A and B are shown apart, each in its own frame.
Chain A
C-alpha cells in the first residue's frame, strides 16, 4: 500500500498557561477553525486520531460525542506527547487504506491544570515496575522526564566535550523564533547570560532547556491527496514516513549507542533506515528546508540532528552554533519556537507550523520558498512534508 495522504486543514486554540477552558473547549475552537480552514463539513470527518488521551488530554469517544461526529475509524495513543509523529502516521495510513476519508487529529491539553500528574507522585509513567520510559526510577529520586534527558546530555558532554554554552544555542534559537510568533507563550528575550543564570533543574539541564507547561489545542485534518485536490487549501503532502524505533539500543531521550540504560556504546553513522522517509519522498536530506522536532528538552534537538545525519555522532553541539538552526540559517529548526518557547501542545503546534510554512502563510516566521520540511525526533519517527 502506498501512503497517499495530505494535511488539508488546521486549527488551533489560544495557547497559554492556566487557561480556564477545558481541554474540550480548547479542542472545539481548534476543530471549528480546521473545518473553516479546510472547507470540509463536520459530516465528512469520519476518523479520529488522538495523541494524548485523558486525563492530560481527551479520549476519542468524548470528542466524537461532544462534536456530534459519527466516525468509523479511531486511533488513540496513551498520554505520551511523544506520539505526535505516530498519531499523524496512523491517520495517513488510515486514509491511504480507505479506513477513513478524513481523519481529524486532535491534540488538546491542559497541562497546567494537570500539573500534579507531570513528574510527581501523581505521574503513573514513572511507577512502571522496570522503571519509566523516560528513565524514571522514583526510589532513587529519578522522578521526572527531565532526568533521562539530563543523563543523556551529561554523558554526551563527557564523551564529546560538549558544553552548556553550546547547548544554550538551542533554547536561544527557539526563543528567537517564538519572539516572531504572536501565538508564542514565551517571548522574553533570552541570551547566553540569561540561559546560564537560570536555575538548574537536573544537571546539566537548566530551566530553559525544559519545555513549557501550557494549555491549548491543535486539530489537523488528514485525507487522501485525491480528495485534497478539491478542497480550499493547498494540500501539504505527507511524502515519506518512518516509524518510532524501539529496542535495547534505543532510549527515548538519547541517540542510539550513547550508553544510556541498556544501549551499547557504539555510535554508528546514520543508518539507511533513518533516511527512508527522504527516500520515499524522492528527495535528499539536503533538500529539507527546515526540521521540526519534539523539543521536550533541548538535547532532543541535538540528538534528532544526529539521528537523521544532518551531522555526525557527537557533532550536533557544534552544528547548532552560529545561527545554523535559526531562521535564515542553513537548517531552521522549530520556527514556531517549539515546545521550549511557543507552547507544549504535544508537538502538534509544530505540525501546524509545518502546514503554514508549506502553504507559505507562516508570516513573520516564514522560511522563504519552503518546499520540503521534516518532522523527525531522536526516537526515529519522521515525516517528510512536501508543498
Chain B
C-alpha cells in the first residue's frame, strides 16, 4: 500500500474528539452542555452562550449541500491525479456546516440543495475523513 500523501487534518485539544469519533465511524458534533446548541468548528467554548461545558454527541450524519466547487488546479501535488475534484459544504441537519467531498455520486448530484449522508473514508490507519454521498 502506498503512503497517503494528501494533507491530514491538523488535530488539537479542541478538535481531537471529532477525529477520534470519525475513526470509530461516528460523526459527532460539539454541543453546549448548557444551551444545547451544536457548533463547528470545534471550540472549547459555546459561541452562543459562552458556556465551557462542551459535550460531544452523535450527529444524524444527514445534511444538505449548501455550496460546492469543482477544483481544476492542483495546488498540492498530491491532488494532481484527482483534478477536477469536488469540494462541498454540507449543512448538517443539526445546523453547523462542514467542508467535505461528495462521493458515490451521479451526474446532477453536485448541486445546492442535494440531500446527502455521511460515509467514512479510512485514509490512513489513524485518520478517517467523513465524506458524503447522495441520500434519499
Contact = CB atoms under 8 A, between A and B. Distances in A.
Bind each other: yes
Interface of A: 119-121, 123, 127-131, 135, 137-144, 146-147, 150-152, 154-155, 158-159, 199-205, 248, 259-262
B73 interface: yes
Contact of B39 (A138, A141, A262): A262
23 contacts: A129-B15, A130-B14, A130-B42, A138-B6, A139-B7, A139-B9, A140-B87, A140-B131, A141-B101, A142-B99, A143-B71, A146-B73, A147-B69, A151-B89, A154-B67, A158-B113, A201-B71, A201-B72, A202-B71, A203-B71, A203-B84, A204-B69, A262-B40
B71 A141 contact: yes
A154 B86 CA distance: 12
A155 B71 contact: no
A151 B99 CA distance: 10
Interface residues of B, number: 43
A121 B87 contact: no
A262 to B, nearest CB: 6
Given A120-B75, A139-B8, A141-B87, A151 B42 contact: no
A298 B75 CA distance: 20
B75 A158 contact: no
Contact of A158 (B39, B73, B87, B111): B111
Given A144-B75, A200-B84, A127 B66 contact: no
Contacts of A205: 69
Given A141-B82, A143-B75, A143-B79, A203 B69 contact: yes
Interface in B32-74: 39-43, 47, 66-73
B112 interface: yes
Most A CB within 10 A of own CB, among B8, B67, B68:
B67
B90 to A, nearest CB: 11
A154 B10 contact: no
A138 B74 CA distance: 11
Contacts of B25: none
A140 B101 contact: yes
B118 interface: no
A267 B83 CA distance: 33
Given A129-B11, A144-B75, A154-B112, A139 B69 contact: no
Contact of A150 (B7, B12, B41, B69): B69
A131 B41 contact: yes
Interface of B: 6-12, 14-15, 39-43, 47, 66-73, 75-77, 79, 82, 84-85, 87, 89, 91, 96-97, 99-101, 111-113, 129, 131
B76 A147 contact: no
Nearest to B85: A141
A130 B71 contact: no
A140 B11 contact: no
Contacts of B47: 248
Given A141-B82, A155-B67, A130 B15 contact: yes
Contacts of A262: 39-40, 96-97
Top 5 A-B residue pairs of the complex, sorted by shortest distance between their CB atoms: A130-B41, A138-B7, A158-B112, A155-B67, A150-B69
A142 B11 contact: no
Contacts of B79: 141, 143
Contacts of A127: 7, 10
A196 to B, nearest CB: 15
Contacts of B76: 120-121, 138, 141, 143
A130 B87 CA distance: 17
B72 A140 contact: no
B71 A129 contact: no
B82 to A, nearest CB: 7
B68 A154 contact: yes
B19 to A, nearest CB: 10
Nearest to B7: A138
Nearest to A260: B67
A143 to B, nearest CB: 5
B31 to A, nearest CB: 15
B70 A142 contact: no
Nearest to A261: B97
Contacts of B99: 131, 135, 137, 140, 142
A152 B75 contact: no
B125 to A, nearest CB: 16
A151 B68 contact: yes
Contacts of B43: 130
A181 B12 CA distance: 49
